[in-house]
């Protein structure tokens, strides 16, 4: 067990290593304005979400895992891997669906799709075209 001092109240709380990893990845995500608005729409505060993460809620774990996978795919795109593009497309689609499952509206969940559209435009419409360089 690892003891972590939480900055919200400075209480010593016992966490397992897996809970710490999930908490570390999800903290910046749940503090974002769009996620906070989505949580408020469902009547949930950020503190309740943090408590749910430490208890291992499925939504938070799935959302954080998809975000980490999408970031890993973007890193692999810099190594010109075509499979990384398709993995990023799948992660983005799943993130969109998880956002809808979590109570966000289509408008609130769409920024990820806009990012995907920008990536597709960069790969297919740039000069020279970058798509053939992916291996």
The pLDDT tens digits of the residues spanning 7-41 come to 333 333 444 444 444 444 555 555 555 566 666 66
- Give pLDDT, residue 9: 39
pTM of the model: 0.58
Q: Confidence class of residue 3 from pLDDT cuts 50, 70 and 90?
A: very low
Name the nearest CA neighbour of 62 among 28, 31, 25: 25
**72-89: average pLDDT:** 88
**48-65: average pLDDT:** 69
Q: Confidence class of residue 54 from pLDDT cuts 50, 70 and 90?
A: low
């Amino acid at each position: 067990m690892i003891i972590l001092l939480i900055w919200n109240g400075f209480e010593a709380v016992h966490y397992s290593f897996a809970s710490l990893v999930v908490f570390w990845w999800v903290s910046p995500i749940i503090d974002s304005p769009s996620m906070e608005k989505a949580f408020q729409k469902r009547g949930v505060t950020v503190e309740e979400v943090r408590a749910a993460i430490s208890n291992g809620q499925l939504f938070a774990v799935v959302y954080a895992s998809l975000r980490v996978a999408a970031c890993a795919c973007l890193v692999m795109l810099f190594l010109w891997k075509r499979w990384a593009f398709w993995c990023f497309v799948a992660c983005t689609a799943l993130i969109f669906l998880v956002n809808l499952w979590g109570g966000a509206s289509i408008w609130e969940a769409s920024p990820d799709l806009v990012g995907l559209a920008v990536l597709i435009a960069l790969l297919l419409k740039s000069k020279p075209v970058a798509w053939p360089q992916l291996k």
